[in-house]
Amino acid sequence: MSTSNEHFWWQRGVIYQIYPRSFMDSNGDGIGDLQGVINRLDYLSITLGVDAIWLSPFYPSPMADFGYDVSDYTNVAPVFGDLETFDQLVLHAHQRGLKIIIDFVPNHSSDQHPWFQNSRSSRHNPQRDWYVWADPKPDGSPPNNWLSVFGGSAWEWDQTTNQYYLHSFLKEQPDLNWRNPQVKDAMFAALRFWLDRDVDGFRIDVTHFIMKDPALRDNPLKPTADRTMHKSLGEYDSQIHIHDQGHPDVHRIYRELRLLLDEYSLDQPRVSIGEIHIFDWDKWASYYGSNLDELHMPFNFQLLGVEWQAQKVRKIVDSLEAVLPPGAWPNYVLGNHDETRLASRLGPLGARLAAMLLLTLRGTPTLYYGDEIGMTDVHIPPKKQQDPWGKRVPGLGRDGCRTPMQWDASTLAGFTPPGTQRTWLPVAENFQQVNVEIQLHQPGSLLNLYRKLLAYRKIAPALQIGNYYPIDGVHEDCFAFRRYHPGHPPLIVVLNFSAQDLTLELSEHGIGYIVISTNLDREEKVDLPGLHLRKMEGLMIEVDR
């Protein structure tokens, strides 16, 4: 039986994702920055009570994809600050016990990166092979049928050297050739650079993309009925992506990357979390490594696209528990900078239920900034759109979930210093009602529900590291489970997904005491043989059996 000491911070803790452009602007240019994050560390560590922050990219970048097009892997973009500010951020975060996870973007660099500039300058340049170049077909068309996630062919013709280069995303994001050992060495050197600056881990962008079929074979076409689970990707979804990503030797790279992290983990455990949009459970789980020697956690995105029904959600949780290799650690994600916001997907009551689900399941939760106050997607008029994906494929833009954090009811929601004229994306119109300051003063607010759940999770080993046992036969609209860690009070979590009140029979769990309800305060002893739940209510109950 495991004891609490055997668990690492990234297993016990809660991760909070910050999109640096949108969290806090300290200098009045309308764009968030690292100093802004430093200024809000007390909010994160004390007011909210999370344990780690993951920062989306802050590296120098032409910002074609807002930082996911990196032109220098070992520096900070002036718009976000500089290396000294970054060091200060790490220092101040660590003083508060907050860990820092940064984004690592290995699949592609910016086309402005000197590596690519060299590579494209001549077929004989020593860095030519750092990217994926190929000849056209005899008729001049691209080497194969691979598509860019952001629309159109994944190949761009380069006139200087008369070859195509591969870009799985924008043409401004050429794919690096990880089969070239020099690329791997250069990218691992970048990891060391940040580990030496004391970061606690990496979120790895499109982890599975870095190895492709060396023969560059065409992808097979997908039967129309068989679509991606979480979001329609348009034309991209018409293929089975077996050759343009996830070639089996991808695992060799992550085994090496893990060794590197292990080398740095002797006195300070570091973590690797992979962004992996793979919805086949076994394939997904393979990224833990056959001996748990690859990623610490592949992000689990299955809850992002699930139909919000009790049994469907339960099925995901049970499938995850069943597929995890022995000793592997689960995790759950309910929002990020690429997805429709949680409160927009589920509505206000659904967002409350989701908060309880996320923070009571077994596994590391990742929260997306602003979801704790129920920020909703903002409609951005075409003229103000920023996201290149949305500009290329109407309807797939991600600006709506990236708007400035709503701190208070002052002009521009307290996101910028007073006097700032505009922000890079518009502030949501609802900021006067939906903001941190107001919700802190409302006992029943979503923010206060998150704070309660986080505070309870911090002191409850059953939630942090306890086992998960689904409870059968409660009601088809209910997802109920038990969390237990030896020596600590067992808990049951009962979530009513329906729009009706329900009365449930849970007598086998003995006497219960409600510690948190997703609705109004309801801390009371309850009758488990006749447990009453209001519509869409979730309860966390300490039980004696």
Positions in the binding site for ligand NOJ (CB under 6 A) = 65, 68, 105, 169, 205-206, 275, 337-338
Q: How far is the CB of 420 from ligand NOJ (least distance, A)?
A: 25
- Joined together, the tokens standing for residue 249 give 């030797």
Nearer to ligand NOJ, 56 or 406 (CB): 56
Q: How far is the CB of 289 from ligand NOJ (least distance, A)?
A: 22
Residue among 84, 235, 263, 501 flagged as catalytic: 263
Residues 32, 206: Cα–Cα separation, whole Å: 24
Is residue 427 a contact partner of residue 434, using CB atoms and an 8 Å limit?
Answer: no
The DSSP result for 362-394, as a single string, is: SSEEEEETTGGGT-------GGG---HHHHHST
Q: Is 42 a catalytic residue?
A: no
Q: Which residue is nearest to ligand NOJ (CB)?
A: 68
Residues 43, 53: Cα–Cα separation, whole Å: 12
Q: Is 321 a catalytic residue?
A: no
Q: How far is the CB of 299 from ligand NOJ (least distance, A)?
A: 10
Q: How far is the CB of 202 from ligand NOJ (least distance, A)?
A: 13
66's torsion region: left (phi>0), alpha (psi -120 to 50) or beta? left
- Joined together, the tokens standing for residue 410 give 């002052």
Amino acid occupying residue 242: I
Is residue 81 a contact partner of residue 31, using CB atoms and an 8 Å limit?
Answer: no
Helix (H) or strand (E) holding 162: none
Nearer to ligand NOJ, 25 or 172 (CB): 172
Nearer to ligand NOJ, 25 or 275 (CB): 275
Q: How far is the CB of 405 from ligand NOJ (least distance, A)?
A: 18
Residue among 25, 111, 172, 205 flagged as catalytic: 205
Q: How far is the CB of 115 from ligand NOJ (least distance, A)?
A: 17
Q: How far is the CB of 175 from ligand NOJ (least distance, A)?
A: 11
Nearer to ligand NOJ, 105 or 427 (CB): 105
Tell me the CA distances in angstroms from 415 to 42, 286, 404, 405, 458, one per residue in order: 16, 41, 6, 6, 29
Sign of the alpha-carbon dihedral angle for 447, 330, 241, 72: positive
What distance separates the 2 farthest-apart alpha carbons in the chain?
A: 77
Residues 354, 479: Cα–Cα separation, whole Å: 12
Q: How many helices (H) and strands (E) does the chain have?
A: 15, 19
The closest alpha carbon to 498, from 537, 539, 459, belongs to 537
Active site members: 205, 263
